[in-house]
Amino acid sequence: MRRFFCVLLAVALLAAAPLAHGAGWGNVKGKFLYDGTPPTPGALSITKDKEYCGKFSLVDERLVVNPDNKGIANVVVMLYVRRGKKVNVHPDLKKASGSVELDNNHCRFDPHIAFVRTGQELVIKNSDTI
């Protein structure tokens, strides 16, 4: 399965290379798919605030797979740049806009992944009553 993801990412990068070279900027698109039958998420063992958090059907969300198309959620791809090498940022993305919110709601953080740019405000809040 790991080999499949590496091949998928390589194909996406190769397909985007001509676009990036011609226009100076490019986009990378891809999908991470689970090969085979995804495991059923197991129930979490609640050890803290059992009276409150026990009301929710909390499951292990380390691997979230869409049952319809087998797409894997919450995947992060990182572009490695050598130390000391300048990274060009598209002008539209240079200015941070708005804030990014991470909320603890029903004893789970949402969203699981948030992208925050330099200069952007990160708001961490707890909507639970505990």
Sheet (strand 99-105) strand order: 108-110, 99-105, 121-126
Pair of tokens at residue 80: 């490695």
3: in domain: no
For residues 91 and 51, what is the distance between their CA atoms, to the nearest angstrom? Answer: 50
63: in domain: yes
Which residue range is the domain that position 90 belongs to? 31-126
79: in domain: yes
Compute, in degrees rounded to 10, the torsion defined by CA atoms 115, 97, 80, 61: 10
Cα distances (angstroms) measured from residue 118 to each of 16, 92, 114, 115 = 26, 14, 13, 10
Helices (H), 24-125: 50-53, 91-94
115: in domain: yes
Query: How many folded domains does the chain comprise?
Result: 1
What percentage of the chain exceeds 70 in pLDDT?
82
pLDDT at 16 (0 to 100): 55
pLDDT at 20 (0 to 100): 46
Cβ atoms of 110 and 103 within 8 Å: the answer is yes
pLDDT at 13 (0 to 100): 56
Pair of tokens at residue 16: 């985007």
Pair of tokens at residue 51: 């009276």
13: in domain: no
Q: CA nearest 64: which of 43, 44, 39?
A: 39
pLDDT at 21 (0 to 100): 47
> Residue 3, SS3?
helix
9: in domain: no
What percentage of the chain exceeds 90 in pLDDT?
55
60: in domain: yes
